[in-house]
């Protein structure tokens, strides 16, 4: 097998469930235009932090993204008020002896600036980062770090300092987000056949090229519609994050399981050549079993960075066995409904399950596209109003695809890096 066509010939036929999950995933992913906006805002913030007269002028070593954007797993929020985070590490040239609260305060001062400046009214100091909150719902979390091992690039410490607590509780926490992203991406190369089709669907929904503003920083990884594509593991992870968001949205004051912990455990079970349905069901089952094993032992799960065991992904969640049990129940329900999805005999039943798991708008849109794809190939002299039940219940979808009408793109203009129009869900 020396080229893409060899792999394509060996690929198993795509089932309707595979196709539906892929169409849902495309709709919950952060679209290319918003990805480009995030890149613009990242560049604008970097330039501002290093401006002449800034408290951090000449003290920034490197800017780089961490978290979901670094591994291509960012999803859009369900509603405007949910927002979505872009996580940026700001590596600083500071002595290791610098108190944690001082490190955070310096970054806060550099971003907030003077009264009347562009970020003055939208900058918030958090326990471990500084957040810029945009009026359109986007949040940019800037985490200051100090390199601790020059021989192992990006192995760092970050400050933990709650403003309302006494200073003796402050501490520096080990972190190597850069190393984890490298590990994750190396072990999840794109499935080229899957990625080609996924990128085609994504571009169809949000056409246009992406330009990333130049900056003295590690570039943001390209969007899935650009070179590189996706693996089924990454797309399965996005669907799991979407389901988690829906489960926790109404649980006021309850901390969600961290994305990096979920990503690390999903990575343990990753293997090439899986369909999207296999990747999702296996990932959910592996995560559930790992959490249940800890629960059965009466302990909180402990997940570490595979590139740096001192970097603990579960240092703030779960805080109690109840936290752990709550998410286990969510995963059990997700696994059960995914099994129901594969057993479903009608498109109506599939649609209802997808709405329950991933939200109404992406589920209904995915089903509508399946209808458009299958209907023109039904044996009829005229196009039916909806596909025949028998066609929709078929286990394998082999009909050619028909592109839906192009949606209107969100307007792009400048507002500290651009603005966007929130997609309704």
- The residues pairing with 85 across neighbouring beta strands, listed in sequence order, are 139
For the chain, what percentages of helix, strand and coil (3-state, to nearest 5) are there? 45, 15, 40
Nearest by Cα to 171 from 100, 232, 73: 100
Active site residue 141: yes
Contact between 355 and 363 under an 8 Å Cβ cutoff? The reply is yes
Tokens linked to 70: 């670094």
Both tokens of 35, joined, read 């990805």
Per DSSP, the three-state class of 172 is strand
The neighbouring-strand residues paired with 159 are 172
From the candidates 18, 40, 87, 206, give the one annotated as an active-site residue. Answer: 87
Q: What is the DSSP letter of 29?
A: B
Which of 40, 85, 330, 365 does the annotation list as catalytic? 85
**How far is C-alpha 318 from the chain's CA centre?**
20
Of the candidates 18, 40, 105, 141, the residue annotated as catalytic is 141
318 preceded by cis ω (within 30°)? yes
Q: Residue 338: name the closest of 252, 280, 388, 425 by CA.
A: 280
Measured CA to CA, the distance from residue 58 to residue 383 in angstroms comes to 66
Task: Confirm whether 206 is a catalytic residue.
Answer: no
Length of the chain in terms of residues written? 425
Cα gap 118→370, rounded to integer Å: 45
89: β partners:
64, 143
Active site residue 323: no
Residues marked as catalytic: 85, 87, 141
């Amino acid at each position: 097998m020396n080229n893409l066509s060899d792999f394509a010939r060996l690929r198993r036929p795509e089932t309707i469930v595979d196709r539906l999950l892929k169409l849902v995933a495309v709709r919950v992913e952060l679209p290319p235009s918003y990805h480009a906006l995030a890149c613009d805002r990242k560049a604008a913030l970097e330039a501002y932090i290093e401006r002449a007269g800034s408290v951090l002028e000449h003290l920034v070593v490197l800017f780089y993204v961490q978290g979901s954007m670094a591994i291509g797993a960012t999803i859009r929020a369900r509603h405007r008020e949910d927002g979505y985070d872009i996580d940026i590490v700001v590596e600083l040239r500071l002595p290791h002896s610098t108190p944690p609260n001082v490190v955070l305060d310096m970054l806060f001062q550099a971003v907030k600036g003077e009264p009347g400046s562009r970020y003055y009214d939208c900058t918030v100091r958090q326990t471990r980062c500084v957040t810029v909150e945009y009026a359109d719902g986007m949040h940019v979390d800037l985490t200051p770090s100090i390199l601790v091992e020059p021989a192992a690039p990006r192995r760092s410490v970050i400050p933990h300092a709650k403003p309302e607590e006494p200073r003796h509780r402050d501490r520096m926490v080990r972190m190597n987000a850069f190393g984890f992203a490298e590990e994750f991406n190396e072990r999840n190369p794109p499935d080229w056949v899957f990625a080609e089709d996924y990128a085609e669907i994504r571009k169809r929904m949000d056409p246009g090229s992406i330009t990333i503003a130049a900056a003295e920083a590690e570039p943001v990884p390209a969007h899935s519609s650009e070179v590189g594509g996706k693996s089924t593991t990454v797309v399965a992870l996005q669907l799991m994050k979407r389901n988690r968001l829906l489960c926790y949205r109404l649980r006021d004051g309850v901390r969600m399981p961290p994305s990096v912990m979920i990503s690390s455990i999903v990575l343990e079970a990753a293997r090439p050549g899986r369909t999207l349905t296999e990747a999702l069901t296996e990932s959910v089952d592996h995560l559930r079993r790992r959490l249940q094993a800890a629960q059965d032992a009466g302990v909180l799960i402990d997940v570490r960075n595979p590139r740096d065991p001192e970097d603990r992904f579960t240092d703030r969640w779960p805080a109690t066995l109840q936290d752990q049990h709550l998410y286990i129940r969510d995963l059990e329900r997700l696994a059960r409904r995914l099994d129901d999805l594969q057993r479903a005999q009608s498109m109506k039943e599939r649609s209802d399950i997808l709405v329950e798991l991933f939200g109404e708008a992406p589920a209904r849109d995915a089903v509508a596209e399946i209808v458009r794809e299958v209907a023109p190939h039904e044996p009829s002299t005229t196009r039916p109003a909806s596909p025949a039940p028998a066609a929709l219940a078929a286990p394998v979808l082999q009909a050619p695809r028909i592109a839906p009408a192009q949606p209107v793109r969100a307007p792009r203009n400048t507002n500290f890096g651009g603005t966007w129009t929130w997609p309704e869900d």
